[in-house]
Structure 1
């Protein structure tokens, strides 16, 4: 089987970059703005209703002649379920808005970003606040209970276009109003990482553990991951659901009794460290063939706190790593504007990069809806309905080269990924081995069958309040 590589464009800057380099910290340029992206090809606005040239008669929420107001719903840090992903996605959408407002603006308007905290178990209230508030769209959201309140988002009174950084429920992803830049965890999922570990560690891959916190959305997402990873060669022998506030003592003992040789982790990276600490205290000699942390551990704060316990933990990313930002214009732009907007407080993470990608998809949809860079450009016609229509036409998309080719309109992810492994406090590329490349085999994608209807189950389960 041939390995097809997706090689991202290298950039050559005319002057040296001054870089912040610290152990495990991302490389963030300080002085040189990356090249401006190539302007969009001329796009005629999609036809809406019977008259494609009609003016917007009613006031659109969150929209004036001078500004577009958008909301970002995210969970603030929770001791047991997430780290700083919410902060990172808020910062990332704000950084994107800064890049827009410093250039041509969006449909001639300044972008205003509002943070909305769903606090893990308050997503219904967050959705209600956005639907009742003065917002044009949801952009870059990242909330674990994102199906809670979906009926409000889908109601005729709330026409918000929804461009999340990530979706945790199939109901949200397939809401009919949701468009994800690279929907890696849908009915069609990217599970190439599992195939890689199955081939690299065939023995350890026959006895894999996955621990799931007792939160319905994560348990159901975990079931889908189990199906996709199993299809790629992993065999799960131990998959308990644990209490959210567990001290991990009984879970550690149960894992040791199961004889598991490898571990897949799907929730907070900080919780992974706490579990590994407990496991090491219980059995100091225990080791794993591999530990995969998805994208959750790709966070500078996690690396700083990992110490020796994090040695050998791997993440898989659907985009180039921050450590190779100099090889990708758009990744470099992301880091530049994160630093420009938030300075030393910036938190670039995998979730943040996904939020930036979501904002780019929103930007593309807005631009198409008003015919940007074409003779039919009419920014005064910007509407939520027009953005929906434009988003539904985007079937070939790579977020300006930030990730592989995806099809947001039909919810098909890119097949591309890279695996990074923590070694002595630094993320090191493991696979593919050549810098600047992603593995993009068609076989990396898996079509779910047994768990494809879990959105129906999700509708019956309620998150604890």
Structure 2
């Protein structure tokens, strides 16, 4: 936040979200600290459930795969890296749910025998927002692949990743180069040239009166600037004619948000889109909006479906007009969606944090494991790229709407959630647990919004070298 995201994110920065089950103590540590598989809690959870993940047959299990086929692969082990930005000082625990999810999935998989009999050994990295390249340099020296991770400043690390041919299945990507990066596949893709525009189309159905009353909240962060350019084109495709109130917020915070709120009031906005994260600075901004006496509909990335927004709003009501577009099932639907229940059970059994981006990392882990199973003893990065490129219909066992990871194409479906007090409910479509799908939701974005150059295979060309791994027929 894919993605991407996936927050595409800073959707991704977002690229994050905690509900239903309670958060437990933090786990992980500094970059490079291994996280062992097979905890007692994980074993107990696996033993008490079958080996399906929702509608997906488990890709994990025993076997006789052999060979030290690639860096990080031996007769008995597969070494993968994962991680988030939980050490970011201005938002402690940022996206921690991603690492918690991958750690739980590693244990679940190892309890079944690993991948074809090879146990998975995970290294949990903390990029702390500004250390993404340092993390990538460390991962390049030891890991077979990166799986289920999400680093908000991934633009600083992408050149390093590509140069060392570190194939990846991220939980989300943010920068254009990473979103369409080579050797990279996401359970929920967030490419620069196509977008899931369901949030804007569905808002247009819910509130057609606001199609000329929305504006975007500007930011000084380069990744958000790129995101907003893309968002503008998607909104226009959905029939919105956006205002241009000229407001740009410093991502690191402002001494006072009152002047910016007054500017929006003078501009007459009745709706605001934010690509920023649900962090304290953003809450202070919306407090100022409320104090200015305006009550706009707030529309944001799926990362606004989360515990931090709930907690802030439970006592203030400032975000009672908050809406977030999603391609994932709500966590509240665990009783209706087996994949959501499985995710919650596995992570909760290990005391982890559960949230939307955790499900996103879970989907990417399952995608990775599905491809790894197919590779058998020939577990190489080339085989993984080949197998991942073949997967064109993926929903993480029912966690989200179907995507096309192999072609890096987002879903054509979505739903809208709204927040009142500390409760989220589905606002659109009317039947809870259902997505609305429409070919129009898949928006081909204008090339001027991409932020990077793509080759004929839709892969970012900026860091390509002669040895990059490409899918083979």
TM-score normalised by the chain length of structure 2: 0.79
Change (3 A) 1:77 1:233: farther
Query: Counterparts in 2 of 1:163-182, with a 5 A limit?
Result: 163-182=169-188
Change (3 A) 1:254 1:79: farther
Equivalent positions of 1:42-441 (< 5 A) are 60-76=70-86, 78=88, 84-132=93-141, 134-155=142-163, 158-184=164-190, 186-238=192-244, 240-244=247-251, 245-246=253-254, 247-270=256-279, 271-281=281-291, 283=292, 285-288=293-296, 290-307=297-314, 308-342=317-351, 346-370=352-376, 380-441=377-438
Please give the per-residue CA displacement for 1:131-172, whole angstroms capped at 9, x wherever unaligned: 12x1111011211221213222112xx222211111112211
| In 1: Cα distance, 2:140 partner to 2:411 partner | 31
Q: How many Å apart are 1:361 and its aligned residue?
A: 0.8
Aligned match for 1:33, one of 27, 36, 49: 49
Equivalent-residue separation in structure 2 for 1:339 and 1:177 (angstroms): 32
Q: Which runs of 5+ in 1 are unaligned?
A: 1-23, 42-53, 371-379, 461-465
For the aligned residue pairs, the C-alpha RMSD in angstroms reads 2.6
CA distance in 2, matches of 1:77, 1:249: 30
Q: Secondary structure at the match of 2:155?
A: coil
Residues in 2 aligned to 1:453 and 1:293: alpha-carbon distance in whole angstroms: 20
Deviates more, 1:71-80 or 1:395-404: 71-80
Corresponding residue for 2:471?
none
Deviations 1:21-56 (A, max 9, x none): xxx94158x986366245379xxxxxxxxxxxx986
Calculate the TM-score normalised by the size of structure 1.
Answer: 0.81
- Paired residues, number: 404
CA distance in 2 between partners of 1:139 and 1:114 (Å): 10
How far 1:241 sits from its partner (Å)? 2.6
Contact 2:418–2:425 (Cα < 8 Å) also in 1 = yes
CA apart distance, 1:120: 1.6
Secondary structure of the residue aligned to 1:121 is: coil
Structure 1 Cα separation of the partners of residues 461 and 397 of structure 2: 35
